[in-house]
Structure 1
Amino acid sequence: MPKGFTDHEKERINSEIIEQGRRLFSTYGLKKTSIEEITKAVHISQGSFYIFYPSKEALYFKILELEEAKIKLKLSETISNDKDSVKKFLLRAYEVVDTNPFIRQVTFDDNMQELLRKLPEQELKAHLNRDTDSLLPLIQRWHENGIRFNEDPEMVAALFRSIFFMAFHKKEIGEAIYPKMIELLVNLVVDGLCREEAPHD
């Protein structure tokens, strides 16, 4: 049986599990990283790992959500008040995702497919709902700045998410043409979706 930990120890160990998990997953991916490797790096037993996470997939998903939160915070600072800012936001999102070592690894070796197979459906649905909820305030800010969308906010959020999900199919699309394809897709979506009006007081 794993030993008990104080609340302070649990907080410290959990931070180390996340840090070492991020490092190992970023380097080797989900399938090639074992719980044993993570626990060795953190200096705890494998049994103790399960105090914090029911599986390595649960840890991977936790780190994915933390990385996405950091990305969203960074992107929220780029919003301005013209239609080009919507394009810049989406292209910047692609750049940030593409240069994040952990997120990049998610797109390799079927890591996302493995995650989808192992995690409970309810947890994945909750994650998608949180994704939509995090985009709605940004869409509202554009609206207040005079950007009008031809669809309701939930549909706009879904379209934006679909662009982000393209990163998980980079290999299938073709890595050589992927950046140009994303730029073209963003231009087509935004030009078809947005119009500019004078912002209301």
Structure 2
Amino acid sequence: MPKGFNENEKQKINEMILTEGRKLFSSYGLKKTSIKDITSAVGIAQGSFYIFYSSKEALYFAILEQEEQKIKEHFIDSNLTKAQSPKKALKDLLHQAIQLVEENVFIRQIYLDNNMEAILRKLPKEALEEHFQKDSDSLLPLIHKWQNEGIILQKNPDVIAGIFRSLFLLTLHKEQIGVAVYHQTLEFLINLIVDGMVIKEDLT
């Protein structure tokens, strides 16, 4: 029977589970990391894990959301109105965000060894829908701001958010796109997206 924890203990243990889970998943991947590996690293009984997460896939997904949030914050904190050329600023911003995705070991792991398939099987549909909705919700204020300032087209903000999400998803399919043409493909798509979306050439 798992030990009962007070709220303060739960918070600290959950932080440890997230930290140790991130280390183990990044080093060994989802399939080769067991719940026992995680609980041993944290120092709790194996049964206590289920107080916090229904499965190791649920933990993996929680860490993934944390990693994605770091990248979204970088994107959201941008201010195109301070740039002389909004087009160049947005292209640079997309390149920087894509580089953060490509360099993030944890995010890269999700498509290795069919990790995504394992997660999709284990997570409830509602959790995935909530995740995608949070993606859109985090981008919408920024998109509305750019539209109100006359920087980008007055198109459906949800569609624009979907375009940005689609671009980042492409970074996880380098082999399918073709390694030899991957970077040129992304560069071409970024140019097409920004050139077609940004209204103002400069703010001078």
- In structure 2, do the counterparts of structure 1 residues 63 and 157 end up closer, same or farther at CA, with 3 Å as the change threshold? same
The answer (yes or no) to whether the contact 1:107–1:170 under 8 Å persists in 2 is no
**Which runs of no fewer than 5 residues in structure 2 stay unpaired?**
none
- Give the structure 1 partner of residue 2 of structure 2: 2
- Give the structure 2 partner of residue 99 of structure 1: 103
Choose from 146, 154, 157 the match for 1:153.
Answer: 157
Structure 2: which amino acid aligns with 1:136? Answer: L
Tell me which moved more, 137-146 or 185-194: 137-146
Structure 2: which amino acid aligns with 1:28? Answer: Y
Which aligned segments of 4 or more residues in structure 1 are displaced greater than 6 angstroms?
none
Give the 5 Å matches for 1:80-159.
80-81=80-81, 82-149=86-153, 151-159=155-163
- Give the alignment's TM-score, normalised by structure 1: 0.91
Structure 1: which amino acid aligns with 2:10? Answer: K
**Which runs of no fewer than 5 residues in structure 1 stay unpaired?**
none
Structure 1: which amino acid aligns with 2:8? Answer: H
* Percent of matched pairs sharing the same residue: 51
Give the 5 Å matches for 1:162-173.
162-173=166-177
Tell me which moved more, 128-137 or 179-188: 179-188
- The structural deviation recorded for 1:68 is 1.2
The answer (yes or no) to whether the contact 1:112–1:168 under 8 Å persists in 2 is no
- The structural deviation recorded for 1:150 is 5.5
- Give the structure 1 partner of residue 30 of structure 2: 30
Structure 2: which amino acid aligns with 1:192? Answer: G
Q: Secondary structure at the match of 1:109?
A: helix
Q: Secondary structure at the match of 2:10?
A: helix
In 2, Cα distance between equivalents of 1:127 and 1:177: 30
- Give the structure 1 partner of residue 20 of structure 2: 20
- Give the alignment's TM-score, normalised by structure 2: 0.90
In 1, Cα distance between equivalents of 2:62 and 2:174: 23
- The structural deviation recorded for 1:104 is 1.6
Tell me which moved more, 102-111 or 59-68: 102-111
In 1, Cα distance between equivalents of 2:48 and 2:191: 49
- Give the structure 1 partner of residue 182 of structure 2: 178
Structure 1: which amino acid aligns with 2:5? Answer: F
In 1, Cα distance between equivalents of 2:16 and 2:165: 30
In 2, Cα distance between equivalents of 1:157 and 1:143: 13
- Deviation per CA, 1:90-113, whole angstroms, max 9, x where unpaired? 211110111112112123222122
* CA RMSD of superposed structures (Å): 1.8
- The structural deviation recorded for 1:197 is 7.2
- The structural deviation recorded for 1:115 is 1.3
